[in-house]
Structure 1
Amino acid sequence: MKKALVVFSGGQDSTTCLFWALKNFDEVETVTFDYNQRHKEEIEVAKKIAQDQGVKNTVIDMSLLNQLTSNALTRTDIEIKEGEGGGLPTTFVDGRNHLFLSFAAIMAKAKGINNLITGVCETDFSGYPDCRDMFVKSLNVTLNLAMDYNFVIHTPLMWIDKKETWALANELGAFEYIRENTLTCYNGIIGDGCGECPACKLRSDGLQKFLAEQGGKLHV
């Protein structure tokens, strides 16, 4: 039996990965991290989506991350701003994907799961270094060596942009569900979000490009 563990935030990308996992694996679980993020609603959204799809969801306390680094996702007194002069956005959380995948791997090994799935992407993203393919491949090797276990980290979205991510959701028969039930917005608004924050702008731009190409071809 092929088992997989999805690193799951309840956002567009990780929910698309959840539906992808349900199609490609026999048994799927999700893990969500509580790192005192700006919009705690994402934890409840992740729980609800997992429940809707009939998969187990585990929430892990990662509040230590909040103590180690300051950014707009963990501090309400830091303004959400896009990167300036080639710098990273204020929403970048140092070490987040590194820690999340490492803790997910520990959990997966204890459950006899080899496959880890994450929604990171370097094609259409905010420039986060821990979303890059090179980082994921490097960490995959490190985890295998660190635990003497054959992990495979899957990144279904790595080489596709947001328009293509919506297309994948449509192919999986999950377009409307993902559009209506996921939380991508940095201001904590479910669905199409606030329309103003960087995450919403990226999501909306891809959505509009996807819809412009469809003309009634949605799988609903």
Structure 2
Amino acid sequence: MEQKKKALVCFSGGQDSTTCLYWALAHFDEVYAVSFVYGQKHSLEVEMAHKIADKAGVPFEVLDVSLMAQMTDNSLTNPAVVMDEEKPDNTYPNTFVPGRNMVFLTFAAIIAFQKGIQNLVTGVSQADFSGYPDCRDTFIRSLNVSLNLAMDYPFTIHTPLMWLDKEAVWALSDELGVFDLVRYETLTCYNGIPGDGCGRCPACKLRRKGLENYLSTKKKGRVQKV
């Protein structure tokens, strides 16, 4: 009997990870989700992630890695830091949390190892405006090798959004049949406002621009088909 293919999704309840959750459901027999509490200002994202996982019928767990908030100084974990609304020249915006994806994927891999899961899924994207180093393909490939060596286990890290801009991510969510869920029931906003968010923070601006581009392209496509 063929062994079931299982995957563990690093899941924050935002646009990207929710799209990845449903991508995983379309590609694997069994899907699990893990969220992380890392001292972020808006814990609502974990609550929303739990609701989405329940709706999708996916087992969900939360890990506390809030020690990260004591080790870094950024606007996502420190209320005293005023968030950069634009990317500064020659550096990363202060929404960058050093080591976050490395920590998340490492702990996810430990959980996956214990559950006999070989596939890890994350919503990182090199096409993202910020250019965070831990969202790059080279980092993911390097970490994949390191995790395999560290645990002597054949992990594969899947990054279905790696080369997609936000317009293409919206298109993928629509293709997966979860466009409305992603639009209205996820939390991407850095200011902790669900759905379309505050409209001012970098995450909302990027999400909104991608949405407008996708809806415009989709409308034109419909016109051409008539």
What TM-score, normalized to structure 2? Answer: 0.94
The aligned counterpart of 2:198 is: 194
Structure 2 counterpart of 1:154, from 158, 168, 173: 158
The aligned counterpart of 1:33 is: 36
The aligned counterpart of 1:211 is: 215
Once the two structures are superposed, residues 23-67 of structure 1 have per-residue CA deviations (whole angstroms, 9 ceiling, x without a partner) of 000000000000110111101011111011111111000011111
Structure 2 counterpart of 1:43, from 38, 43, 46: 46
SS in 2 for 1:6: strand
In the aligned structure 2, how far is the partner of 1:67 from the partner of 1:84? 24
Once the two structures are superposed, residues 147-198 of structure 1 have per-residue CA deviations (whole angstroms, 9 ceiling, x without a partner) of 0000000000001100000000010011011101000000101000000000
Report 1:67-82 matches (<5 A): 67-81=70-84, 82=86
Structure 2 counterpart of 1:129, from 128, 133, 142: 133
In the aligned structure 2, how far is the partner of 1:165 from the partner of 1:185? 16
The aligned counterpart of 1:9 is: 12
In the aligned structure 2, how far is the partner of 1:122 from the partner of 1:85? 18
Shift of residue 85, structure 1, vs aligned partner: 1.5
In the aligned structure 1, how far is the partner of 2:107 from the partner of 2:128? 26
Residue type of the partner of 1:201?
K
Residue type of the partner of 1:128?
Y
Residue type of the partner of 1:166?
W
In the aligned structure 1, how far is the partner of 2:17 from the partner of 2:191? 18
Structure 1 runs (4+) greater than 4 angstroms displaced: none
SS in 1 for 2:61: strand
The aligned counterpart of 1:181 is: 185
Are 2:58 and 1:55 equivalent residues in the alignment? yes
Report 1:106-125 matches (<5 A): 106-125=110-129
SS in 2 for 1:17: helix
SS in 2 for 1:42: helix
Identical-residue share of aligned pairs (%): 61
Structure 2 counterpart of 1:23, from 23, 26, 50: 26
Q: State which structure, 1 or 2, has the greater radius of gyration over its C-alpha atoms.
A: 2
What TM-score, normalized to structure 1? Answer: 0.97
In the aligned structure 1, how far is the partner of 2:157 from the partner of 2:16? 15
In the aligned structure 1, how far is the partner of 2:11 from the partner of 2:128? 19
Shift of residue 124, structure 1, vs aligned partner: 2.8
Paired positions, count:
217
Residue type of the partner of 1:99?
V
Return 5+ residue gaps in structure 1 as ranges. none
Shift of residue 87, structure 1, vs aligned partner: 1.1
In the aligned structure 2, how far is the partner of 1:97 from the partner of 1:110? 20
The aligned counterpart of 1:96 is: 100
Residue type of the partner of 1:149?
Y
